[in-house]
Amino acid sequence: MAEGLVLHEQRGLTRRELIYYLKISDRKSGREIARMGDLHTEGMLALSEKPLVIGEIHNVSLELPKALHDSGRTEVFITFEVMWSRPGPKSSSYKENGVRFVAPDHDQKQVINQLIELFAMPPQ
């Protein structure tokens, strides 16, 4: 069975591609580590120049689209664990990394749901 198929079965949720590739930055260094490829309530696809290390925990800030800046927020802080990493499509230099959110609080879940509701493309 293909690795991607197994992962999809384990995930059980449909990821939704966003209309923006939002920046994911390390909270400590402020350095961009990836861009958000798609999202669901429990995790996301992080596109990076170098593969993320499976099992590593990252404390990151997720850039928010300008449409959500009305609340005075430009980012949301969240922790994730890298579940898998693989090369992206042959035409891409990016690596694909599947991550799951670690114990998101109510506020973080609310922002994730807003991102999905307002900026996700319809499921295919």
List pLDDT tens digits, range 86-115: 998 877 889 999 999 999 999 999 988 888
pLDDT, position 46: 95
Does residue 5 have a pLDDT over 70?
A: no
Q: 24 in a domain, yes or no?
A: yes
| Residue 7 pLDDT | 40
Minimum mean pLDDT range among 4-13, 31-40, 46-55: 4-13
Distance of CA 21 to the CA centre of its chain: 9
Range of the domain at 60: 3-119
In a domain, 90, yes or no: yes
pLDDT, tens digit, for every residue of 69-88?
666 788 999 999 999 999 98
Answer yes or no: is 93 within a domain.
yes
Asked whether residue 85 is domain-assigned, the answer is yes
Q: Torsion over CA of 82, 120, 14 and 33, rounded to 10 degrees?
A: -10
CATH of the domain at 97: 2.40.10.220
Confidence (pLDDT) at 14: 63
Residue 99 lies in a domain: yes
Q: Read off the pTM.
A: 0.80
Percent of the chain with pLDDT over 90: 50
In a domain, 124, yes or no: no
Q: What pLDDT does residue 18 have?
A: 64
Strand spans (E) along the chain: 16-17, 23-26, 32-40, 43-48, 57-63, 75-87, 95-101
Report how many domains make up the chain: 1
A 10 A CB-CB count for 6 gives 11
Residue 47 lies in a domain: yes
Provide the pLDDT for residue 116.
82
How far CA 66 is from CA of 7, 59, 71, 78, 106, in Å, comes to: 32, 22, 10, 19, 22
